[in-house]
Structure 1
């Protein structure tokens, strides 16, 4: 595994640097801050900063679910699987693992 293992979570308060740039932070319980979704001081209230942080925090769970679905694909009948879904699962899993 090439990424920090989850679970990850979004901080309850924003992190700011010495220049006043603030952003939502994503933490790992063991090692601390994984990512700060940067925002300029004048745009700190923008809703997508928090949304981005929550999306990043869910990334490890989403990857695990995609890997589980991919494993289940071996048991699916050709008639039960949407056309091309296995290839799309493989593609997005490789992208998440930086194996492209």
Structure 2
């Protein structure tokens, strides 16, 4: 006498859309690569863009000058039009506050 496992039957439910129903396709656009941008007033700007912000010219450029493909930030410009990069964090992890 051999033991057979009991058969399990699952109901199959088919859901069909009526032939008259119209289904709008969903298009998902995905960029080929992630690209960092700067934002101002709801608009995005690419690296190198110069705009006037609060009466000063600023440049959309890399946060770290040694990582040109890193995140972009708005950088102030000096008198010659060159970007002024923020100072790197202090290695002693101390915060200095200027009361000027």
- The answer to whether TM tops 0.5 is no
Give 1 or 2: higher helix fraction: 1
- Rg larger in structure: 2
Name the TM tier (shorter chain). under 0.3
The alignment's TM-score, normalised by the length of structure 1, stands at 0.25
Using the size of structure 2 for normalisation, the TM-score is: 0.25
